[in-house]
A and B are shown apart, each in its own frame.
Chain A
Amino acid sequence: MGLGSMFRRGVLALGATAMLALPALAQRSEPIRIGAVLSVTGPASFLGDPEDKTLRLYVNRINQAGGVNGRQIQLIVYDDGGDANRARTFATRLVEDDRVHAMVGGTTTGTTMAMRPVFEEARIPFISLAGGIEIVDPVSPYTFKTPHTDRMACEKIFAELRDRNLTRVALISGTDGFGQSMRTQCLRVAQAMGITVVADEQYGPRDSDMTPQLTRIRNAQGVQAVVNPGFGQGPAIVTRGYAQLGIRLPLYQSHGVASAQFIQLATPAAAEGVRLPAAALLVAEQLPANDPQRQVLIDYKTAFEREFNQPVSTFGGHAYDGLMILVEALKRADSTDGTRLRDAIRQTRGFVGTGGVVNMSATDHMGLDLSAFRMVEIRDGQFRLSGN
């Protein structure tokens, strides 16, 4: 008898033992299977990569602490590369082959919208990590999301402008998905917030010079402040052009530029005095001691940066919030039944996450209000928490 066949017999014996043992094991502690389809690579990798790292880090931590309801969590992550078609294929695989109990993540609005019907049909709770308001408005029974929306960013900016009595506003928006979506939301909420949009300029996402548009804004009648819904390098070039032309009006950027890289690209001199609504994570250490989010933010930041040795980002924070909301709901429901779990997620009240304090309901599947955004100002090349 050769070595090969001995080995084969050994494997067979092992397999037989495992098959006998499995059903008993499964009944006692079958893991809770959580699926995730994230854009870990591709154009949205700066979103998907920290989300992936955060989920793995915290699932490990939860399992080491004994799991949830005495059961371990099994995390199944697929990388869609930012492609909505692939995301949908993976969603089907998660439902049919992996038989997940719940789903955290969809990195982008595009992949989320492509996957939503799959989970709705299977009645599996789906917590998306993408920004678009259309994910939860109108509400679909099993779909939730953790990040704040661009409509809230507009409302935050407009509320401050109204308080400062600067009601005549110029928009300069990127024509990329983010810029267009936020521009639409800004135009939609402007009137209700008492804001008049007197100029509405646009630029391409790869444009290299926005001074013609800014010159038009400077010459428009009665502009009191400028708002730049945009993402990527566009807002940095707008900010540079703003300084180049010496425009003195207040400039508001969006939460899309809330990273240290923006200040570096725009140069600190040009970015001085720029204000923007941002997630509290950006200014965690500056929050007052009695801020409910302060401890959660600092804990997350410390854990992430110690593990991965790279700066924390709000996007990873969205994944933390999604996972923790789900874990709390699993405890409340004490079940992995889709509908009971969904009802438990809807009962989320006063959950303190990195994105804000979350209060969900049957009609609100995001649960954040404007206090989730903090107004920050760039001073001396740093983000500084502003008064409100």
Chain B
Amino acid sequence: MAGHIMTAELLQFLVSGLTVGAVYALVALGFTLIYNASDVVNFAQGEFVMLGGMVTVFVHAAGLALPLAAAAAIIVAVAAGLLLHRLAIEPARGASAVTLIIITIGASIFLRGVAQIVFDKRFHQLPAFSGNDPILLGGAAILPQSFWVLGGAVLVFTALFLFLERTLLGKAVLATAANRLAARLVGVDTSFVLALSFGLSAAIGALGGILITPITLTSFDVGTLLALKGFAAAMLGGMGSPLGAVAGGLLLGLLESFAAGTISSAYKDAVAFIVILGVLFAMPQGLFGRRSVERV
């Protein structure tokens, strides 16, 4: 009896952690793509998630069907990503990575300000894609939307993997990540690859925002914390490794959920960050990161 309750409880924490972790993983993946193409940590990544949720809410409220509203949100986010690259990153080409990172922080504040004016400052919700009735599984109550989030994340991971490994363009992205100068010398348009990375990151972030909004609600400033968590996840997994981003995101979500459920809900964030610090102390390059080798 007690054992049964225990497994139900752990299953509940597991699903909760995986759902939240999947969103962290999507944000971390966005960080990784842009980082690989340019060494820039794009702190406006959270704003793409916000745009995904908010645009869907408002377009849906204006009368468009949910799938169309979601498509519109992804288009808006991609446009924002491309504009961010074209208007803010591209003109500063040649500046140091730190300068570019500060530009993205500015862009993030700007996007939040625009969202505050274009939309509003309130919280908004979306209807769940397939109802709110929880599915009972082994004593745990799971929202159908959790499966949408997890399924969507798996789809993105697979598609991205296939793109990077099986297409010429994907290989060009990988080549740029490996060595920008060498990639340019063999004819890869690295500037295009960078623009592509911004577009892809924005699309992935927006998709995450659309999938999670029925569970977590959204508002103009929802991106700040997600960017922070996604960044922590990317560091934990190893900055620059797509696999690491996914693993780091899921691990961070699970850490938070199990810490809240079994240790102390007041210190769950502290527990998660202590584990991250511990991992980075032992493995400074993260779980799946490339070891930076000093060549003589």
- Chain B 215-243 interface 0/1 with A at a Cβ cutoff of 8 Å (1 = within): 11101001001000000000000000000
- Whether A237 pairs with B265 at a CB distance below 8 angstroms is no
> Does B288 touch A at the CB level, under 8 Å?
no
Known: A206-B225, A236-B217, A270-B132. A212 touches B123 (CB 8 A): no
Number of inter-chain CB pairs below 8 Å: 82
Bound Cα distance from A312 to B43, whole angstroms:
38
Partner among A203, A204, A213, A261 whose Cβ is within 8 Å of the Cβ of B123: A261
- Closest Cβ of chain B to A152, distance in Å, is 25
> Which stretch in B8-16, B29-37, B105-113, B177-185 binds the other chain?
B8-16
Partner among B132, B215, B258 whose Cβ is within 8 Å of the Cβ of A212: B258
- Whether A204 pairs with B269 at a CB distance below 8 angstroms is yes
Q: Which residues of B contact A246 (CB under 8 A)?
A: 134, 141
Known: A233-B217, A237-B217. A203 touches B141 (CB 8 A): no
- Whether A213 pairs with B219 at a CB distance below 8 angstroms is no
Known: A175-B266, A261-B123. A212 touches B261 (CB 8 A): yes
Bound Cα distance from A206 to B219, whole angstroms:
10
> Does B212 touch A at the CB level, under 8 Å?
yes
> Does A380 touch B at the CB level, under 8 Å?
no
- Whether A202 pairs with B266 at a CB distance below 8 angstroms is yes
- Chain A 106-138 interface 0/1 with B at a Cβ cutoff of 8 Å (1 = within): 000000000000000000000000000000000
Q: Which residues of A contact B5 (CB under 8 A)?
A: 219
- Whether B12 pairs with A212 at a CB distance below 8 angstroms is yes
B: which residues have CB within 8 A of A? 5, 9, 12-13, 16, 19-20, 23, 121-125, 132, 134, 141, 143, 212, 215-217, 219, 222, 225, 257-258, 260-261, 265-266, 268-269
Q: Which residue of B lies closest to A208 (CB)?
A: B216
Q: Which residues of B contact A361 (CB under 8 A)?
A: none
Known: A203-B265, A211-B16, A233-B219. A244 touches B123 (CB 8 A): no
- Whether A209 pairs with B123 at a CB distance below 8 angstroms is no
Q: Which residues of B contact A213 (CB under 8 A)?
A: 260-261, 265
Known: A202-B266, A216-B265, A219-B9. A209 touches B141 (CB 8 A): no
Q: Which residues of B contact A232 (CB under 8 A)?
A: 123
A: which residues have CB within 8 A of B? 45-46, 175, 201-204, 206, 208-209, 211-213, 215-216, 219, 232-233, 236-237, 240, 243-246, 261, 264-265, 267, 269-270
Partner among B20, B219, B222 whose Cβ is within 8 Å of the Cβ of A209: B20
- Whether A211 pairs with B12 at a CB distance below 8 angstroms is yes
Q: Which residue of B lies closest to A172 (CB)?
A: B265
Known: A236-B217, A244-B143. A209 touches B12 (CB 8 A): no
Q: Which residues of A contact B266 (CB under 8 A)?
A: 175, 201-202
26 A–B contacts, CB within 8 A, in A order:
A175-B266, A201-B260, A201-B265, A201-B266, A202-B265, A204-B269, A208-B212, A209-B20, A209-B257, A212-B13, A212-B261, A213-B261, A213-B265, A215-B9, A215-B12, A215-B13, A216-B260, A216-B261, A216-B265, A219-B5, A233-B123, A240-B132, A261-B122, A265-B124, A267-B132, A269-B132
- Closest Cβ of chain B to A78, distance in Å, is 21
Bound Cα distance from A209 to B19, whole angstroms:
9
The 3 tightest CB contacts between A and B, nearest first, are A208-B216, A212-B261, A212-B260
Q: Which residues of B contact A46 (CB under 8 A)?
A: 121-122
